[in-house]
Amino acid sequence: MKKRLYIETWGCQMNLHQSEGIAGILEDAGFEIADSLFDADIVLFNTCTVRQKAEEKVYGRLGAIEALKVKKNVLFGVGGCMAQVRREALLKRFPVIDFLFSTTDLAALPSLIHKADKGKGGVVHLPDPYRTQEIPYKRRSSVTAMVTITEGCSNFCSYCIVPYARGPLRSRPPAKVLAEVERLMEAGYREVLLLGQNVDSYGRDLPGYGDFAELLTRVAQIGIPRIRFTSSHPRDMTPRVIETIARHENICNHIHLACQSGSDRILREMNRGYTREEFLSIIKGARKAVKGINITTDLIVGYPKESEVDFRDTVELIEEARFGSIFVAKYSPRPGTRSASFPDDIPKEVKDERLQEVLSHQRRIALAENRRRVGETVKVLVEGRTREGAFFGRRGDHRTVVLSGETELGAFVSVCIEAASTSALAGRALIPAVVKGVL
């Protein structure tokens, strides 16, 4: 009888994609994927440690594993960034954990599980140096497929744990990326999402190769109907990337460009490598070159020594940039990073107030920007259904659209936008037939 495996994932899209790889590797090794924690013989947590809140969510779930272990003899493994950074300290703090696994060598999981099953508790497999690997994926979506192009990051922003958890930049060979995209198109996928902690640095570690713009061009030429990418770093984004988006209709007119702060002083402290004006210049250039491009961003509030003046600079940036959406987080020190040595001197209540103020400004801007799109007829790629059963998808600018009317997953449909909220648009499907290659 096959053993049943349950995977729980926290964090970024890279983690979601790696969990697809974990499922693919273990299914190939003879395991079955369970839909519920309580139906599983083996439970794996693929964790995130980019912020303290992400760690706390994992700690909160450990109680469920302890209760499950009382009822049945399940094996429990923890991987991802939290395992990579915390390592043996996790095993000491939480005896419920049977083994740890790394962010990179996922192919070792079947043997790790076998060792743990034989009673060799506390098995740890966290290889160094980091490397890339080719693995099978059990994909969650039949419409959009994630494709890794880089792993790790070499920028060493002062607050960021990614270089310590994921290692330095490693670009995947272009031939591997292009071959995977070709296979996905042949399999009927309508969209690929190119993934990396910093996609704009692609190729810098490949002697003789060009850059991300070159890879993006070659992916576009394959002919898959829609291409997205994330995440972008302002320090590394080049005009060539913007020109490539403008030149190819199947590359989405959306960039997720993490700014983190509107204060030049804080940006220097963060080691971000650009100024406020340089960031705004990138946005202005993108909007001039690509009609209707949607710029989204990440912000941190409460970074050490962030004054009220620094925070006002961030608010002014939000007003000037008019982002489509913002992911905002309160600063939390991460072990081993440079900023972890600074006093975490912004009181919690101040961080909370600043977070809420950012969200308030952004809700107002997002609602106004979305209302401007009411009355437009746009092409939407249908991705799934809401809890209420309605279809939803995304425009080429990455804005979510909830549809009335019947259609099918993977279809490109023409939609008349009839209403808007802060987080989505709503409209009526006019042409439910598949329209190939139209954004």
Q: Would you say residue 175 has pLDDT above 60? A: yes
- How much is the average pLDDT of 267-278? 98
In order of their start, the domains of the chain are 4-125 (3.40.50.12160), 144-371 (3.80.30.20), 377-431 (2.40.50.140)
The model carries a pTM of 0.94
Confidence label for 121 from pLDDT (cuts 50, 70 and 90): low
In this predicted model, which residue has the larger pLDDT, 157 or 432? 157
Of the chain, the percentage scoring pLDDT greater than 70 comes to: 95
* pLDDT per residue as tens digits for the range 206-261: 988 889 999 999 999 999 999 999 999 999 999 999 999 999 999 999 999 999 99
In this predicted model, which residue has the larger pLDDT, 131 or 134? 134
* pLDDT per residue as tens digits for the range 11-22: 999 999 999 999
- How much is the average pLDDT of 403-422? 95
* pLDDT per residue as tens digits for the range 342-391: 999 999 999 999 999 999 999 999 999 999 999 999 999 999 999 999 99
Confidence label for 72 from pLDDT (cuts 50, 70 and 90): confident
- How much is the average pLDDT of 297-308? 98
Largest CA distance in the chain: 64
The amino acid at residue 417 is: I
User: Beta strands of 127-206 (E only): which ranges?
Assistant: 144-148, 150-151, 170-171, 191-195
DSSP bridge partners of 254 = 294
Residue 435 is predicted with a pLDDT of: 43
Q: DSSP alpha helices (H): ranges in 167-307?
A: 174-186, 212-222, 239-247, 264-269, 276-289
Cα gap 189→192, rounded to integer Å: 8
